[in-house]
Amino acid sequence: MTEQSTVLILLQVFCDRKEESFCETEKSSAEQKLFFGKKIKFRHILIEKHYVEKSMLNYIWAVMILLGIVYAACTGQMEAVTNAALDSAGEAISLCLTMAGVMALWMGLMEIAQKAGLIQKMTRGISPFLQFMFPRIPREHPALGYIATNIIANVMGLGWACTPAGLKAMEALAQLEAERGNTAYNSEDAPAANRVASNEMCTFLILNISSLQLIPVNMIAYRSQYGSADPACIIAPAIIATLISTVAAILYCKAKEHSKWRY
Amino acid sequence: MEILTHVSDIIIPLIIFFVVGYGMVSGIKVYETFLKGAKDGLKVVVDIIPTLVGLMVAVGILRASGFFDMLGSLLGPFTELLGLPAQLIPLLIVKMFSSSAATGLVLDIFKTSGPDSYAGMLTSILMSCTETIFYTMSVYFLAAKVTKTRYTLAGALFSTLVGTVASVILAGMMV
């Protein structure tokens, strides 16, 4: 097992595939015992059954609360902690009220853009860029369509549309590998550990993670809630920063694609 | 940077004008469509209320206990050499794993330093140009059943690093 695959398994254990699942601890506690009882089988269960119920957020959340209370007990800040816990809970609700307005406005506009065919038009509009980034994907392959949808959804801040399109894109890229005669991708029963990411998969994910975004809607809502004089003033610098990180990602992928070193 | 602020100020009205205008020209019922989308937007917010309550309480406890101040005075002298306020270190790490946990920390920075301070600006820009690396990688590669991810992690970390440096420079120009 190579270093990368071990890293990935660790990630799969810890990452919050279901970010909201930290309220579902009861359901997964039985599965947790199974995990710790059979440490070796654990990895295979994970890969083969898509098992990522246990989330990173469980640990982050618990550690923050436990650490905070223990530290407060040591420094004599228990009263402040009591107030902070109660105040923060109330504050979360007032924040949601501000966010509700901004989100409703943005999603309303995006619905118009969607219905009017604007989003689809943009999706088609980036196909020259996709052909530059993914020269080896045949033009009519469905993977290109899913990748385009994912990128545009990212750019327009349509969180709900990104992930499904992204997952479909990954499946289509796996299919493409099978069509190319990559044996690890040929049958569903092949041991999953043998699947090596294709260049296209790496490029797609790095692009995705570099996160091109036009309007950081959430950030603007948070800023206005905490009394910013000009909540939207971050739009231009944010666009520049996101462009720079995406260009860095493109250069990195192109350099890797042309290097002979395959792993 | 006046021009950056100016561009920021006109972008939202421009988008609204363009989208509504485009909708009118294509002959759809813009108002009804807007209402439907707005309703979905509200549902999204309602869904994240429990998450926000949980995480803001956790960060609030940690802040009130004095732990962040201790961490800040410990790390501050080193990180400030790089232009990063010490408050941002936990944020940068947490953001790689979970965007909702990062949100809790972002709000804490806005509350304690203000969104228009250097730390607030840097946080705003940084959060707009980074993505939860490990979360995205695990979910996406799982969909293709791939375990050997080759250079993806290195590339993702590289682009995040470049984005961070760019954010530090831009935030310095804005304040």
- Residue B84: which residues within 8 A CB-CB, separation 6 or more? B92, B122, B168
CA atoms within 13 A on the CB side of A211: 30
Of the candidates A64, A118, A252, which has its C-beta nearest B159's C-beta?
Answer: A252
- pLDDT band at residue B126 using 50, 70 and 90 as cut-offs: very high
pLDDT in tens, B144-170: 888 888 999 999 999 999 999 999 999
Q: Among A115, A223, A248, whose Cβ lies nearest the Cβ of B115?
A: A223
Domain coordinates of chain B in residue numbers? 27-174
Kindly list the distances between the CA atom of residue A173 and the CA atoms of A24, B143, B144, in Å, as whole numbers in the listed order: 32, 10, 8
Task: Assess A69–B contact: CB distance below 8 Å, yes or no.
Answer: yes
Kindly give the confidence (pLDDT) of every residue in chain A, 263 residues in length, as a single tens digit, with 9 standing for 90 and above: 344 444 444 444 444 333 333 233 333 333 333 333 333 233 333 333 333 333 567 877 888 899 999 999 999 999 999 999 999 999 889 888 888 888 899 889 999 998 999 988 998 899 999 999 999 999 889 999 999 999 998 888 876 678 888 989 999 999 999 888 888 887 665 555 578 899 999 999 999 998 788 889 889 999 999 999 999 999 999 999 999 999 999 999 999 988 765 54
User: Which A positions 224-243 lie with beta carbon below 8 A of chain B?
Assistant: 225-238, 240-242
CB contact under 8 A, B137 and A11: yes
Residue contact B134–A2, C-beta within 8 A: no
Nearest to B22 among A88, A103, A116 (CB): A116
